[in-house]
Amino acid sequence: MTSLLQSWRFWAILSAVFAAMTAILAKVGVSGVPSDVATLVRTVVILLFAAAIVVATGQGAALGTISGRSLLFLILSGLATGASWLCYFRALSLGEAARVAPIDKLSVVLVAILGASLLGETLSAAAWAGVVLIAAGAALVASGW
């Protein structure tokens, strides 16, 4: 069990499961609620949940050890997350979850491209083929074919 908890794949699969639940729950929750208000409620819940985890695990002291560079990039990441959520909830309020979510997952394609071009990460030819298939799949699901 310990090796499972140390596996990035385990946590990535859980992330995908929770992301899927997020789309379905958000689609129901955003009904009759302005999308920006729905995003605010979601954000407050996440803030409280993350704070509870930090307090419960005794990690609060680590807040004072964050370098200026890390803090800058975490703030920028937070701004990007907020913008993503605002756009996602707006899209969910206007469209079907089964079409919105695949387009949102084009972020996988963008991460592969940006990871390779900006971070120097390398992907095999098979992995790049997978990235192309993800893009094609998202396009097919979103188009309703």
Q: Does one domain contain both 68 and 124?
A: no
Q: Does one domain contain both 71 and 123?
A: no
pLDDT at 143: 86
Residue in the block written with tokens 């491209």: 113
Helix axes 8-29, 97-104, angle to 10 degrees: 140
Residue ranges making up the domain that contains 75:
2-95
- Give me the number of domains the chain comprises: 2
Cα dist from 84 to 53, 56, 71, whole Å: 23, 28, 20
Q: Does one domain contain both 67 and 11?
A: yes
Instruction: Give the mean pLDDT of the chain.
Output: 94
Radius of gyration for the chain, computed over Cα atoms and rounded to the nearest angstrom: 18
Is the CA virtual torsion 98, 104, 108, 110 positive or negative? positive
| pLDDT-based confidence at residue 142 (cuts at 50, 70, 90) | confident
Q: Does one domain contain both 68 and 120?
A: no
Q: Does one domain contain both 78 and 142?
A: no
Q: Does one domain contain both 75 and 113?
A: no
Q: Encoding tokens for residue 133?
A: 């298939």
pLDDT tens for residues 4-21? Answer: 889 999 999 999 999 999
Q: Does one domain contain both 84 and 118?
A: no
Last residue of a domain, one of 54, 76, 95: 95
pLDDT at 85: 94
Q: Does one domain contain both 14 and 66?
A: yes
What is the per-residue DSSP string for 105-119?
TTHHHHHHHHHHHHH
Residue 67 lies in a domain: yes
Q: Does one domain contain both 78 and 117?
A: no
Residue 71 lies in a domain: yes
Using the predicted structure, report yes or no on whether residue 47 has a pLDDT greater than 90.
Answer: yes
Residue 86 lies in a domain: yes
Q: What percent of the chain has pLDDT over 90?
A: 92
Cα dist from 56 to 48, 51, 74, 116, 139, whole Å: 12, 8, 22, 37, 42
Measure CA 19 to chain center.
7
pLDDT tens for residues 71-85? Answer: 999 999 999 999 999
The answer to whether 89 touches 34, Cβ cutoff 8 Å, is no
Q: Does one domain contain both 79 and 126?
A: no
Name the DSSP letter for residue 61.
Answer: G
pLDDT at 125: 98
| pLDDT-based confidence at residue 2 (cuts at 50, 70, 90) | confident
Q: Does one domain contain both 28 and 63?
A: yes
Using the predicted structure, report yes or no on whether residue 144 has a pLDDT greater than 80.
Answer: no
Using the predicted structure, report yes or no on whether residue 64 has a pLDDT greater than 90.
Answer: yes
Q: Which SS3 state, helix, strand or coil, does residue 135 take?
A: helix
As a whole number of angstroms, the distance between CA 11 and CA 39 comes to: 24
Residue 100 lies in a domain: no
pLDDT tens for residues 86-114? Answer: 999 999 999 999 999 999 999 999 999 99
Q: Does one domain contain both 110 and 39?
A: no
